[in-house]
Amino acid sequence: MTAPPRVALLVALALATPAGAQPVPGLGATDPRQVVPADRAPWNAVGEIEAAENRCTGTLVGPRSVVTAQHCLIDAQGRAIVRPNQVAFRLGTRIARGVSLLVGQGFDIALEQPWRSDWALVTLDASLGEGRALRLSREPPREGTPLSLPGWQHDRPGALVADMRCRVLVMGTFGAQGMLVGHNCAGTMGSSGAPLIARDEAGGFIVVGIQAKAALGRSVGVAVPAFTLPMR
């Protein structure tokens, strides 16, 4: 008997934190990622988040608003979220710093759970999003929706890479982890906080999810649904 998609994803993701040697998170036997031009839409809205010792991906969703994963903002001691001015957003040669943070409620920093709360909105001290910010979807994505997952990833320093041949596997509730988007996009360390980008009905680019968790040795993961984030 075949397990339902969300159950199979939960099983895969539950293997993401064992002790000892680990396969590469978020990548399977083949690597579908490719370099994309960081100066062209929609990729020009995707930058690097630096906070404490963390390096992740963030996306402009307003002139001064960046969305990323909350676990990317945990301090070096693993005890608290960093102060806003300790968050830097790098977009090409431009760097802006945070002036305020809005984060998902109920997030256990030690456990990095529940995954539904693993999001953060950073307000920047400079406007970088004019003409490039992406819109957050206000609707849940349908199963089978084509996706792209771009990110600044540790194994490909200096390059923005994206899996552009993936899709939504399931949109639903993953037990205590809450409502999430399950997908089969490839993305490894550094892709945390990256956007799941889809096309809207008019053919424009839209963010349907924020990457939260990837399985070990498999190109599957879960993302916080964009429609659950507060509008900015």
pLDDT at 23: 81
CB atoms within 10 A of CB 97: 15
> Using CA atoms, how far apart are residues 3 and 41, in angstroms rounded to an integer?
38
What are the pLDDT digits (tens) for 52-92? 999 999 999 999 999 999 999 999 999 999 999 999 999 99
The residue with tokens 């969305």 is 67
Got the DSSP string for the chain? -PPPHHHHHHHHHHTTS-SS--PPBT--SS---EE--TTSTTGGGEEEEEETTEEEEEEE-SSSEEEE-GGGGB-TTSSSBPPGGGEEEEETTEEEEEEEEEE-TT-BTTTTB-GGG--EEEEESS---TTTPPEEPSSPPPTT-EEEEEEE-TTSTT-EEEEEEEEEEEEEE-GGG-EEEEE-----TT-TT-EEEEE-TTS-EEEEEEEEEE-BTSS-EEEEEGGGSPP-
φ, ψ of residue 39 in degrees (nearest 5): -105, 10
On the question of pLDDT at 231 being above 80, the answer is: no
SS (H, E, C) 132-182: CCCEECCCCCCCCCEEEEEEECCCCCCCEEEEEEEEEEEEEECHHHCEEEE
**Residue range 112-137: mean pLDDT, rounded:** 96
Paired strand residues for 170: 182
What average pLDDT does the chain have? 92
Task: Indicate whether 48 pLDDT > 60.
Answer: yes
How many Cβ atoms sit within 10 Å of the Cβ of residue 217?
17
pLDDT digits (tens, 9 = 90+) for 89-104: 999 999 999 999 999 9
* pLDDT in the model for residue 4: 55
- Write down the pLDDT at residue 46: 98
pLDDT tier, 3 (very low <50, low <70, confident <90, very high otherwise): very low
Nearest-angstrom CA–CA distance, 26 and 40? 25
pLDDT of res. 130: 87
Tens of pLDDT, residues 27-47: 999 999 999 999 999 999 999
> What percent of the chain has a predicted confidence (pLDDT) above 70?
90
What domains can be seen in the chain, in order of their start residue?
Answer: 23-38+134-228 (2.40.10.10), 43-124 (2.40.10.10)
Tell me how far apart the alpha carbons of residues 74 and 53 are, in angstroms, rounded to a whole number. Answer: 9
pLDDT given for residue 21 in this prediction: 42
Q: 185: Cβ–Cβ under 8 A, 6 or more apart, which residues?
A: 147, 148, 149, 163, 166, 196, 211, 219, 221
pLDDT for res 13 = 59
Q: What is the pLDDT of residues 125-177, one digit of tens each?
A: 999 988 999 999 999 999 999 999 999 999 999 999 999 999 999 999 999 99
